[in-house]
Amino acid sequence: MEVPIDDARSLASRVAELLSADGPLPIVAAGDPVLRRPSAPFDGQLDDDLLARFIAAMRETMHAAPGVGLAAPQVGIPLRLAVIEDFAEVSDEVRAARERRPVPFRVLINPSYEPTGPAKVAFFEGCLSVPGWQAVVARPAEIRLTAHDEHGRPVDEIVRGWPARIVQHETDHLDGTLYLDRAELRSLSTNEAVATRWPHPTPHPAAESLGFSLPE
């Protein structure tokens, strides 16, 4: 049963119900309306203890999936809250091409972003709510992120490279947007195809073979 986003008590009850089970939280898959509706701004709907427990469970779920980010709607809770963490365990070639570097665990509450310039970069991207598939998405190379952390402290910073991609992907979830909405659909590939056919640091070989364009 879906939780009305304007009913704080129902929302808190749903979170408490989720946390009553052991292990990682179940991840909602594409097709569930909760992934297609803007989430409610966080405004104290969860008390400090419940919020901390929910964040811990989201982190556990993200690690178990495994993934580098998880938004609350992906576990069925329509709140503007996401967690991110990336160990960036990739080759030096991939690290350089994608500007991928470790991102320590952090919580983003009520995040938003805006590009800092016109430059875009495109790479294969996947989603825990669309299991088994990846597609190339062109995104701003650098963004300005504004949010609050789990302690209510303001966040206002410039983020670029792969960390910026993670922030954009998770923030999009809070607006009811999936990465496929922004993807070059001719690039859509199974995880197996990406691993065997398109394991390159950039998607240029895939673009040439599958017939799609990349940003200049």
Q: Which positions make up the binding site for Fe cation?
A: 127, 169, 173
Positions at the binding site: 127, 169, 173
| Rounded-to-integer distance, Cα 214 and Cα 137, Å | 9
Joined tokens for residue 133: 């598939």
| Strand, coil or helix: 171 | helix
Cα dihedral 196, 216, 145, 114 sign: negative
Joined tokens for residue 34: 């909760």
Are 189 and 198 contacting, i.e. CB atoms less than 8 angstroms apart?
yes
- Residue-wise over 173-201: b if at least 16 C-beta within 10 A, else e? bbebbbbeebbbeebbbeeeebeeebeeb
Annotated catalytic residue, options 85, 125, 170, 184 = 170
Our answer to whether residue 170 is catalytic in this structure is yes
Are 171 and 108 contacting, i.e. CB atoms less than 8 angstroms apart?
yes
Instruction: Report the catalytic residues.
Output: 170
